[in-house]
Structure 1
Amino acid sequence: MALIALDADGVLLDYHAAYRDAWSRAFGSLPCLRDPHAYWPIDRWDVERLFGPRLAHFRSYFNEEFWSSIPPCDGAVEACHRLRAAGYDLVCVSAIEDQFLAARTKNIQDCGFPVDRVYATHGAAGSISPKARTLAKLSPVAFVDDYLPYMRGLPADIHAALVVREPNGSPNTGDELRIVHSQHKDLDAFSTWWLANI
């Protein structure tokens, strides 16, 4: 069967909601919404910029519990089941540390995603996506991500589908959009479009 590769945060999983919950656990207050159109959670929620010991304290909450309990994005589980029903195998390719791969895999399974395997990649997006090598080995027919720099250097025969979500502060702009083949508001929209057009 043909393979489709999917990013996790922002495509399968609602990282915004998880960030807010982590802040609540770290500091004892649930932050209010500041900008519903912000791409980055630090801009979306009414939170302070952290430095030094307070930043280290907050980061300590991005642990096994965090990476195993992120809620799914709206419509994402159903979108994956439609793709699976149409005959596609699904994998997740996520920029996450190896130490949290098991937690991420459990999270995706617990949410009910019909995803066969989760792959962890490393590093920030430079001139070539840190996901490019894994994707070249997997050779999916399509890859769906919500971060444009992660589309850099993909093999030309992989359909690069970009989820273009909240616009404020988004990296998904400019001339580099030419490297993607299609744009969608979320995974549900991609699934509907893909099954109707491919």
Structure 2
Amino acid sequence: MRPIIALDADGVLVDYHHAYADAWAKAFGRRPALRDPAAYWPMDRWDVRRLTGDELETFRKCFDAEFWSSIPAMAGALEACRELVEAGYDLVCVTAMEMQFETARLRNLRGLGFPIERVIATANAQSAESPKAAALRELQSVAFVDDYLPYMRGIPPQIHAALVLREPNGSPNRGAELEQVHSTHKNLAAFAEWWLSGRPAGTPFSMP
């Protein structure tokens, strides 16, 4: 069997920030202006208002199967995945989203050309252990790449935990929990380059 690398989707494989702005435009007829390009969360990145009531329900309805099937790829992610597969790894997307959209997510990734044949949808609730931990244990993946530090909680120590450190403003990727991860990277492409460069086994926390 080929070793497995598990990958998060939003912020690692696909650009949720871009898709969020598209959903806002669909709901309200206007694409929001960029407010803070260094913001981690889309509500802070885009010049949008906090929604309640009917407006909130209208916006939520835009996050349907069509939405989850049409998110663009992150820069460099597609080539990074192809390089990992060519090097002998199988890739599985482990994503915190509603189970009903699992097929839409796979359709999105396959449509973009990602060499990924399986998507595992997990819960997204905050807890003492990552909602992705059980899936990662079952997969016995050699590495897991995510951009959200709380999803590293409870990951088996034999799985290399690689954290993508993207936009810093409001980021949850800071504090004592950083000690749980084995390496940090600016994006998936940087992880793939580092991982395939012959880094020594058990390489400590680092950031190429």
- 2:122 matched residue in structure 1: 121
Long gaps (5+) in structure 2: 201-208
Q: Secondary structure at the match of 1:143?
A: strand
Equivalent pair of 2:6/2:94 in contact (CA under 8 Å): yes
Equivalent residue pairs, number = 198
- 2:145 matched residue in structure 1: 144
- 1:179 matched residue in structure 2: 180
Q: Match of 1:29, as an amino acid?
A: R
C-alpha deviation, 1:51, in angstroms: 1.1
In the superposition, the TM-score normalised over structure 2's length comes to 0.94
Q: Match of 1:135, as an amino acid?
A: L
Q: Secondary structure at the match of 1:11?
A: coil
- 1:169 matched residue in structure 2: 170
Distance in 1 separating the partners of 2:117 and 2:183 = 24
Using the aligned pairs only, state the percent identity.
Answer: 63
C-alpha deviation, 1:165, in angstroms: 0.2
The one-character-per-residue Cα deviations of 1:48-87 (angstroms, maximum 9, x if unpaired) are: 1111111111001000110000000000000000000110
Distance in 2 separating the partners of 1:182 and 1:112 = 27
RMSD: 0.7
Q: Secondary structure at the match of 1:80?
A: helix
Equivalent pair of 2:39/2:168 in contact (CA under 8 Å): yes
- 2:26 matched residue in structure 1: 25
Equivalent pair of 2:106/2:117 in contact (CA under 8 Å): no
- 1:54 matched residue in structure 2: 55
Distance in 2 separating the partners of 1:59 and 1:93 = 23
- 1:157 matched residue in structure 2: 158
Q: Match of 1:142, as an amino acid?
A: A
Q: Match of 2:151, as an amino acid?
A: Y
C-alpha deviation, 1:116, in angstroms: 2.2
- 2:205 matched residue in structure 1: none
Long gaps (5+) in structure 1: none
Q: Secondary structure at the match of 2:144?
A: strand
Distance in 2 separating the partners of 1:141 and 1:116 = 17
The one-character-per-residue Cα deviations of 1:171-197 (angstroms, maximum 9, x if unpaired) are: 000011000000000000000010011
- 2:87 matched residue in structure 1: 86
Q: Secondary structure at the match of 1:101?
A: helix
Distance in 2 separating the partners of 1:72 and 1:177 = 26
Q: Match of 1:96, as an amino acid?
A: M
C-alpha deviation, 1:123, in angstroms: 3.4
Distance in 1 separating the partners of 2:58 and 2:168 = 29
